[in-house]
Structure formats: structure tokens, C-alpha cells
Amino acid sequence: MQTQILERMESEVRTYSRSFPTVFTEAKGARLHAEDGNQYIDFLAGAGTLNYGHNHPKLKQALADYIASDGIVHGLDMWSAAKRDYLETLEEVILKPRGLDYKVHLPGPTGTNAVEAAIRLARNAKGRHNIVTFTNGFHGVTMGALATTGNRKFREATGGIPTQGASFMPFDGYMGEGVDTLSYFEKLLGDNSGGLDVPAAVIIETVQGEGGINPAGIPWLQRLEKICRDHDMLLIVDDIQAGCGRTGKFFSFEHAGITPDIVTNSKSLSGFGLPFAHVLMRPELDIWKPGQYNGTFRGFNLAFVTAAAAMRHFWSDDTFERDVQRKGRVVEDRFQKLASFMTEKGHPASERGRGLMRGLDVGDGDMADKITAQAFKNGLIIETSGHSGQVIKCLCPLTITDEDLVGGLDILEQSVKEVFGQA
């Protein structure tokens, strides 16, 4: 396997190729193939970008047909038939059935672009600069989004330029059991001497992805929404990782019955792994002036095509979401058993998550790395997250077959046992 040019030319900033040092050639569903003939089950799925698996046949066909017909690929943000179809499908299949009324901003194609646009919109709409964000939150690495991201590794990479415009509050559970962290936030909001600049908005992941698969409790999210309303702050849900079905509903906030003012989606939005993001906003918040937030890649026609096809194929009724929830319970059960096994062996571990966004917290990053490295040797691609990489996270494709799901979990169990010398 020839890797010299990859090691020599690509910047040291590369990450995933360090955890999975092989050359991949093909992929289908939840299976990845490497040049050396090895095959892997994919529990990473592009960090939540491939919710419908690799090369889903329906989406691939829609894309191939569109390209074959010389459909518009790039047109800045000009109107295209593909954009119209995407907007119509979003409205009819996703928004209307959920009683949601949003306008759509198409920023650049990455998650961090969507977050930048969302927080800038909130600031302009409210005429205040401060954005409240939460401990362990991850919202991207461009300067505005980075200011709302907790992890020091990313924050320290700015070359000394301070990140500005955000205040951190403790996420649900951050202070341990029995402490409602929102009481602290609410107290500061009502205290002219508490040091908190009046926020324009709150940005939150309902289940923190990179921060360690931390689900916010449903009553906690409902209280957060109320606090936002009571204090005239906008509620931004960053659904870039938890959205598009990952938690068992199209939007992760549906579980709590809350209605954000602004929503960001990216990752699995195109359904096919194509770069694509949008910001959804309550219509009255659309105060942008023409071209005020621009960019060359605003909306990507190929992604419009696959995103519309994915919404129609998976979200026209609730069959898919019920299946995701069922598979989530399978992972939950196996992760609980693994956590008990490790705890009995003297290494406390626990399980958490929502839908098919699940984590096995093994307490420290070294242990998590040993297990995931062993899993890779055994044919499973699975990554870690959390403040010290202590959480092994399952982000398998939502479309994974039961056979591959159980196969991947079997590999993980075997790997845990090998690490504990029990295989």
C-alpha cells in the first residue's frame, strides 16, 4: 500500500488518517473497502455526514441522472430548477408536517459557515453582540463559530488572536447530578452586576457531538426555550451533527417540542456526503440585505438534488425514524453491557445518547484510543469524542443493516475484551 506521498505532502493538520492509516477505495452502505483488500464496518460515517450510508443507490441515481442531463452544477446563488425542487421538498416533506415556518439562508457549504451566518444574523437582529454557548459545545473553527466552541485545542490555534463575542454557561449535567445549571444562567440574566453582557442569542446542540455525546435533558431544553423567550434572546439550535435523523427525528429538537428561532444543518443535509449547509430562520428574522453575507459556493446544485431525493425517500412518513429509534435501542443495550463489563473489571464506564447518536464513556482518552485502535485492527471504524477523547461514539449510518450493526457491535465487544485480556 503506497502512502508515502500522502504522508509527505499533506499537512500535519490531518487527523482521521492517523486513526485509520489505510487507503480507502470504495464504499457502499456501512462498508468501506481499502486498497490492501481489508474491509471495514463504518461506525463513523463521515462524523455524521453519511446518515444514509455511502453511495445510497436512490441518491446516486438521482445525482447520476442530473449530471447526465447537463443539469446546472454551479450558478452562484442564481435560481435553478434544482434549488426550487429542494426548497419545495424541504417545505412540504420536512417543515409543514412539523408545523415549522422558516426561511432558508444558503451560506457556504460547511457547518462552520452556517454557524457564522446564524450568529451574525442573531446579533444584527437583536443589536447585541453576546452569544451564550455551553461548556463542551462544538460549533466550528472559523473565528465567530470558534468563539462559541469550548475545546482549548481549537481555541489555542488562532495564533494568539482572542476569540470574542461569546459567554459560556454550564451545559446540562456539567455540575453533576441534581444541579440544574440553568438556574445559574437565569440568575446571571437577572443580575445587573453578574458580569454577563445581555445576550442576543443562545446557541446549543441538543446532543453534544464532539463534546462527548452529551444529551441535554428534555425538561432542561424546554426550560432553556422559556428562558430565551422571557429574556428576549434568540434560540439557535445547531443541528449540524444531531440533525437529519441522527437522534431518531429529523430535527433533534423535536424530542423536546421546542421551536428554535434559528437552526443550522450541514453534514448529512445533502444525504450523499456532498458539502452543503443551510440556516433556517423565522421569517421575520430575515433582515439580511442582498449580498450582505455572500460567498462563491452558496448552495450547491448537486447537493440540492441529493438532499431533495433523501428527504422524499426517507422522510415522507415515519417508517424511517421509527427504525432509527429501534436501532438506537440495540446500540444502547450493547453499550450498557460493555459499560457493565468494564466497570466490573475495575474500569468504570457508562453509556449515553439519543437515537443512533450514542457514546460509551470509558473515563479516559488512553483507554478509548486503545479500544478504537483494536477495533480498527478487527475491521471496525469508530472514533472518540469528549474533552479528553474519553467517549467512544457510535455514529453508524442510520440505514445500516441489522447484520452490519450487530457485526460492528460484536467487533467492538471483542476489541474491549482483547484490551482487557479476556478475549
Strand segments (E) across 371-417: 380-381, 383-385, 391-394
Min dist CB 263 to ligand PLP, Å, is: 12
Residue type, 400: I
Q: Give the burial class of 287: count Cβ atoms within 10 A of its Cβ; 0-12 exposed, 13-18 middle, 19 or more buried.
A: exposed
Q: Report the residue from 186, 205, 383, 404 that binds ligand PLP according to the rule CB under 6 A.
A: 205
Q: Which CB sits closer to ligand PLP, 172 or 238? A: 238
Instruction: Answer yes or no whether residue 138 interacts with ligand PLP by CB under 6 A.
Output: yes
Q: Which CB sits closer to ligand PLP, 100 or 141? A: 141
| Measured distance CA(224)–CA(365) in Å, rounded | 31
| Measured distance CA(88)–CA(104) in Å, rounded | 11
Min dist CB 414 to ligand PLP, Å, is: 29
Select from 259, 242, 268, 296 the least CA-distant residue to 107.
296
Select from 157, 107, 374 the least CA-distant residue to 263.
107
Looking up cell 470509558 gives 362
Instruction: Answer yes or no whether residue 139 interacts with ligand PLP by CB under 6 A.
Output: yes
Q: Report the residue from 51, 80, 89, 112 that binds ligand PLP according to the rule CB under 6 A.
A: 112
Taking contact as CB under 6 A, which single stretch among the options 100-108, 171-179, 202-210, 287-295 is the one that binds ligand PLP? 202-210
Q: Which long-range contacts (CB under 8 A, 24 or more apart) does 287-291 make?
A: 287/121, 287/124, 287/125, 288/105, 288/121
Q: Report the residue from 115, 310, 405, 416 that binds ligand PLP according to the rule CB under 6 A.
A: 115
| Measured distance CA(301)–CA(49) in Å, rounded | 18
Taking contact as CB under 6 A, which single stretch among the options 137-145, 215-223, 325-333, 370-378 is the one that binds ligand PLP? 137-145
Q: Report the residue from 50, 93, 240, 285 that binds ligand PLP according to the rule CB under 6 A.
A: 240
Min dist CB 423 to ligand PLP, Å, is: 33
Q: Report the residue from 140, 165, 248, 271 that binds ligand PLP according to the rule CB under 6 A.
A: 140
Residues that bind ligand PLP (CB under 6 A): 47, 110-112, 115, 138-140, 205, 209-210, 238, 240-241, 266
